[in-house]
């Protein structure tokens, strides 16, 4: 939903799922080092030992907000699956939110970890993991519980659609969203294949949009724009 806006990305390692299309390989374990960008957008990267302290992150972002006021829309808390680090986020988010609004990007399967963080969040982007696209077991009940909580904030749902994604899966997802609030936006994201092309045609993407649009007020088709721009 924030396509075209600059964000500060704070990426956490580790995930409770193993989706076939995951675009962050190697995130299953916490690495010995992390990479920090010193100047926003300049790729002047430095490696520092993990764990990085909240103080260092706050100091870096404070410098960005001071020297480039208004450049960044929000801080994107992403992964991996950041809610695996709920206890850390409970400590960090109040300090980070003093600098910029907080945007959580999540696979939408850990409602118990979400609940205590809600007071510190401004935006939530959650996935509905379609079994046909992810290769994972169905997670409908987890998604339902998560969305009911996330709807207290500004939330949208993302579906990654692949060649085997069915109309029935999309319809089931949309009915579940509509039961919470049909005004919650849905993003249909065509899966990006390793060679860079999309797994479904534009015609198929529009067909799925039509299926979803019967049940929801706002349905967008948005590919992974960072892939086209060649950025992380």
165 is in an annotated binding site: no
Q: Identify whether the C-beta of residue 181 lies closer than 8 Å to the C-beta of residue 174.
A: no
23 is in an annotated binding site: yes
Dist. CA 215–CA 228, nearest whole Å: 30
CB atoms near residue 117 (< 10 Å): 20
11 is in an annotated binding site: yes
**Of 10, 23, 4, the residue nearest 160 (C-alpha):** 23
Dist. CA 109–CA 128, nearest whole Å: 9
136 is in an annotated binding site: no
Structure tokens at 212: 């979803």
**Gyration radius of the chain's alpha carbons:** 18
Tokens 């007071």, residue located = 119
Q: 3-state class of 74 per DSSP?
A: strand
21 is in an annotated binding site: yes
122 is in an annotated binding site: no
Question: Rounded to 5, what percent of the chain is helix, strand, coil?
Answer: 35, 20, 40
Q: What are phi and psi of 55, to 5 degrees?
A: -60, -40
24 is in an annotated binding site: yes
Dist. CA 34–CA 36, nearest whole Å: 7
Binding residues for Mg(2+): 24
Binding residues for [4Fe-4S] cluster: 15, 19, 22
Binding residues for S-adenosyl-L-methionine: 21-23, 80
Binding residues: 11, 15, 19, 21-24, 78, 80
Binding residues for substrate: 11, 78
């Amino acid at each position: 939903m924030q396509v075209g806006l600059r964000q500060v990305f704070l990426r956490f390692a580790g995930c409770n799922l193993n989706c076939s299309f995951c675009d962050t390989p190697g995130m299953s374990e916490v690495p010995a080092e992390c990479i920090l960008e010193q100047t926003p957008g300049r790729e002047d990267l430095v490696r520092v030992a993990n764990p990085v302290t909240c103080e260092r992150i706050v100091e870096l972002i404070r410098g960005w907000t001071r020297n480039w006021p208004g450049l960044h829309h929000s801080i994107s808390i992403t992964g991996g699956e950041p809610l695996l680090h709920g206890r850390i986020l409970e400590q960090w988010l109040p300090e980070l939110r003093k600098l910029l609004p907080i945007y959580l990007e999540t696979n939408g399967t850990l409602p118990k970890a979400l609940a205590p963080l809600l007071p510190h969040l401004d935006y939530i982007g959650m996935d509905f993991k379609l079994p046909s696209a992810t290769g994972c077991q169905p997670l409908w009940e987890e998604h339902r519980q998560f969305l009911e909580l996330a709807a207290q904030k500004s939330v949208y749902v993302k579906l990654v659609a692949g060649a085997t994604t069915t109309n029935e899966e999309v319809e089931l997802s949309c009915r579940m969203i509509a039961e919470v609030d049909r005004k919650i936006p849905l993003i249909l994201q065509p899966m990006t294949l390793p060679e860079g092309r999309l797994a479904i045609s534009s015609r198929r993407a529009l067909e799925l949009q039509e299926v979803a649009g019967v049940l929801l007020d706002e349905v967008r088709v948005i590919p992974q724009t960072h892939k086209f721009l060649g950025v992380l």
